[in-house]
Amino acid sequence: MPPSVTAGKSTEVTGQPPRRRLSSLAANQLLGVVFALVAIFLVSAALSPEFLTSFNMVIIARTLAFVGLVTIGQAMLLILGELDLSVGAIGGLAAVAGGLLMVQAGVNAWLSLLLCLLLGAACGAVNGLLVTRLRLHSLVLTIGMAGVYSGLNLVSTRGVAITGIPDQIGFLGQGVVADLPVPFLVMLGCLAVAAFLMFRTPFGRYIYAIGNNTAAARMLGIRVDFIRVVVFAIAGLLSAMAGILMVARLGTAQPSIGEDWVLPPIAAAVIGGVATTGGIGSPIGAILGAAIIGIIENIIVLYGVSPYWQSVVSGGIVVLAISFDSVARRTFRREE
């Protein structure tokens, strides 16, 4: 033991590899979330013998995949200092649009998929443009836009699910690679790209800068409004991706897709260290937060909590988690 400790120390002193340095701030914030996730994981394993089965793990991973995609986008928006409450509605609209294109219009499945992603990005960009051009508060605007997008969803489907989705894309929702569900792998891929964007590119730095201090970012010559619109578009695109993967998974385009994608991603991001006031946190933390929520909801079912009590318990644990985080952070800040 002792030799390895000294070896570790000497690398610390002689100069840390730059790669680690760049995200050291994020790494510090992540530590607490990782700890909480491990703790909840262990407790769950102890509470239920079914928890650790590969069958159950796949269920958790697949559930996490869809909410996770939305969470990545929402986390980027929150870091920017914005918020989009229409992400669920965009996901639903993209899903039924995909169904309509593939089934009723007979468009090639892959082309439909691409068009749906573009539609999601466009919806997000519209939100962003309205926020920046008209200087609206994103919270209020996106409540309104959620109504518009889910209304368009109902107008085009009359509330009826579209069946007969081509088998070609079924793999995207139901497939398994290396024991992992495809949607989960897609989510991890998106997370990797998002983390790279946030940590290693000027674009990501600008997002943090704007979230920290919009006025200062303007003075530095950062194109604040442009970046806002782009991040809204990214969030819309990720929601659309979640929507279309859900269609592939269900084999039908349900108008109700996305209804429960609005608040959990925000809670996940906050648990994962993203400030609702912007400027700090990371998409990785947000996904860990989403995983925490996912495991909690899973173990409640496995443990046999009465269905009537489930939301009380899971909501309570979420509140507990963020309170713990808040107390820990204040203690940490005082030390600093």
Partner 1 sequence: MAFVEVRSLRKTFPGVVALDDVALSLDLGKVHVLAGENGAGKSTLIRILTGVSSPDSGSLSIDGQDALADPSRFSRIAYVPQELNLFRHMTVAENLFMPFARAGFDGLTLSGGALSRATQPFLERFGIRARPAQKVSSIAVSDQQLLQIARASTAKGFQVLILDEPTSSLTHAETDRLFSVVRELRRTGHAIVFVSHKMDEMFGIGDVVTVLRNGRSVAHRSIDELKERDLIRLMSGDEVAIDQSFRPQRGPRPTPPPSDAVGFAAPQSKHPEDEAPLLDVLRLSGRGFNDISFQLHRGEILGFAGLVGAGRSEIMQTIFGARRATSGSIQFERKPWRLGRPDLSVARGMLYLSEERKQDGILPLLSLRENIGISILGQTARSGVISSGQEQRIVDTVIHDYDIKTDSREKKIRFLSGGNQQKAIIGRAMQQRPRLLIFDEPTKGIDIKTKVEIYRIMKRLAEEGVGVILVSSEMAELRRCATRIVTLYHGQLTGTFETESTDNDTLIAAIIGAGASEHAA
Residue placing its CB nearer to partner 1 in the complex, 2 or 17: 17
Residue placing its CB nearer to partner 1 in the complex, 165 or 209: 209
Residue placing its CB nearer to partner 1 in the complex, 224 or 321: 224
CB of 313 to partner 1, least distance (A): 33
Residue placing its CB nearer to partner 1 in the complex, 191 or 209: 209
Residue placing its CB nearer to partner 1 in the complex, 17 or 49: 17
Helix extents (H) in 181-282: 182-200, 202-212, 214-219, 224-250, 263-271
3-class secondary structure, 136: coil
Which residues are CB-contacts of 210 (< 8 A; sequence separation ≥ 6)?
80, 81, 217, 222, 224, 227, 228, 278
CB of 266 to partner 1, least distance (A): 19
Helices (H) and strands (E) in the chain, counts: 15, 2
Pairing mode, if any, of strands 176-177 and 180-181?
A: antiparallel
Taking residue 134's Cβ as centre, other Cβ atoms within 10 Å add up to: 8
Q: In 3-state terms, the chain is what percent helix, strand and coil (to 5)? A: 80, 0, 20
Contact 79, 278 (CB under 8 A): yes
CB of 34 to partner 1, least distance (A): 20
Residue placing its CB nearer to partner 1 in the complex, 133 or 200: 200
CB of 198 to partner 1, least distance (A): 11
Residue placing its CB nearer to partner 1 in the complex, 179 or 336: 336
How far out from the chain centre does Cα 179 lie?
A: 22
**Region of residue 162 (phi > 0: left; psi between -120 and 50: alpha; otherwise: beta):** beta
One-letter amino acid at 124 equals G
> Strands, DSSP E only, in the chain?
176-177, 180-181
CB of 206 to partner 1, least distance (A): 8
CB of 303 to partner 1, least distance (A): 39
The residues of the shown chain that bind partner 1, judged by CB under 8 A, are 18-19, 21-22, 24-25, 200-202, 205-206, 208-209, 212-213, 215-223, 275, 279-280, 335-336
CB of 237 to partner 1, least distance (A): 19
Residue in this structure with the two tokens 């796949």, named with its chain if needed = 58
3-class secondary structure, 298: helix
